[in-house]
Structure 1
Amino acid sequence: MSVQNPIVNFIVMMRNALKEKHEEVIVPSSKLILTINKILKDEGFIEDFHIIEEKSFHKIKIILKYVNKKPVITNIQPVSTSGRRIYWKKDEVKKVRNGLGIAILSTSKGVMTDHKARLLGIGGEVICTVY
């Protein structure tokens, strides 16, 4: 498996685990992926996550969330890629699925949801959308 973009790799691993109805998925760790998981947990999209420490590198064990045997995350989609960065200005930050989903943005104030970016009046690079 080629790791061109770790964020896209993480999103694909999440989608595959959800599609196969796995209870958990283990992904490579990075500060950005850890922050994305904190947001997903705070927004109620995942049950929990834990850091698995190994000798030379760390991984994140994500416990997926299901309601009535259906995944809470119906779609997680990368927006920016390493070859095509997508930025939203402060007035371009829009709701995802009329507020039922979230966009995760990397801003000058850190990684946050579209809702928080609108409240702060800032834009940034759109990492992914989740609904």
Structure 2
Amino acid sequence: MSLQSTDQIADLITRIRNAVMVGKNEILVPTSKLKVQVIEVLAKNGYITGFEVIEGKPRGVLKVTINEPGMIAKINEISKVSKPGRRVYSAAEDLPVVKSGRGMVIVSTSKGLMTGREAKKNHLGGEILIRVW
């Protein structure tokens, strides 16, 4: 397991997407504050079952439970919107709606990471990080 990644979020969602495709229910990823925040938003909105931060040297590990064994994953598609070479920003009123409201976007705002709905409600725009449904 490599400790370096160019884009932490892209690495995280690629690991989640690959695990969902092969039917795994848990993944282990090197931890960071940003990854934990993204996983918290996904867990709060029911896309993953749970997570646990396991401390370690030189870096801890984030154990993500995508779904319970024998259950179908709630994530159909997860993709990175804003990339290091092309950042995507949006005002609060222009935040996209995913799959007629059945999905969500995760937005990095001045008040932290939140869903597109929460950002609209709080009149906050920001960088659109992830689209999931």
**Same fold (TM > 0.5):** yes
Structure 1 residue runs without a partner (length 5+): none
Q: Structure 2 length normalisation: TM-score?
A: 0.92
CA distance in structure 1 between the aligned counterparts of 2:123 and 2:20, rounded to whole angstroms:
33
CA contact (8 A) 1:51 1:58 kept: yes
Q: How far apart are residue 67 of structure 1 and its match?
A: 9.4
CA distance in structure 1 between the aligned counterparts of 2:69 and 2:122, rounded to whole angstroms:
32
CA distance in structure 2 between the aligned counterparts of 1:95 and 1:74, rounded to whole angstroms:
16
CA contact (8 A) 1:66 1:72 kept: no
Instruction: Kindly report the root-mean-square deviation, in angstroms, between the aligned alpha carbons of the 2 structures.
Output: 1.6
CA contact (8 A) 1:46 1:64 kept: yes
After TM superposition, list the pairs within 5 Å mapping 1:1-131 onto structure 2.
3-65=5-67, 69-131=71-133
CA distance in structure 2 between the aligned counterparts of 1:71 and 1:106, rounded to whole angstroms:
25
Q: Which structure features the higher share of strand residues? A: 1
Percent of aligned pairs with the same amino acid: 33
CA distance in structure 2 between the aligned counterparts of 1:30 and 1:102, rounded to whole angstroms:
22
Q: How far apart are residue 94 of structure 1 and its match?
A: 2.4
CA contact (8 A) 2:26 2:64 kept: yes
Aligned structure 1 segments of 4 or more residues deviating by more than 3 angstroms: 66-69
Q: How far apart are residue 69 of structure 1 and its match?
A: 3.8
Q: Structure 1 length normalisation: TM-score?
A: 0.93
Count matched residues. 131
CA contact (8 A) 2:25 2:69 kept: no
